[in-house]
Amino acid sequence: MPREFTYEIEEEIATLSSYEGARGRIYSKELSLISYNGANAVYDIRNWTDYHDEEARMGKGITLNKEELKALRDALNGMDL
């Protein structure tokens, strides 16, 4: 039997972008601090629907630990944007 998947959003850090889809749902790409299945929280960048309500859906994303997030920050700071 598959293990139940749980998550807890510990902190919503930033909304990077958002838009309304064809069916009126709001989609947001967010940076959050999330604990999955009761594990230590990780930094998470992914798309979400409808502001995390009961019917919210998460899209594919990426999780980063603190050191990886710092490396990403340093790489971005070194870019000429």
At residue 67, the 3 state secondary structure works out as: helix
**H/E stretch holding 77:** helix 66-77
Tens of pLDDT along 21-75?
888 888 899 999 999 999 999 999 999 887 666 667 888 999 999 999 999 999 9
pLDDT value at residue 76: 96
Compute the chain's Rg from CA coordinates.
14
pLDDT value at residue 16: 95
78: left (phi over 0), alpha (psi -120 to 50) or beta: alpha
Tens of pLDDT along 2-13?
778 889 999 999
Q: How many residues does the chain have?
A: 81
Domains and CATH numbers, the chain: 7-77 (2.30.31.70)
pLDDT value at residue 29: 94
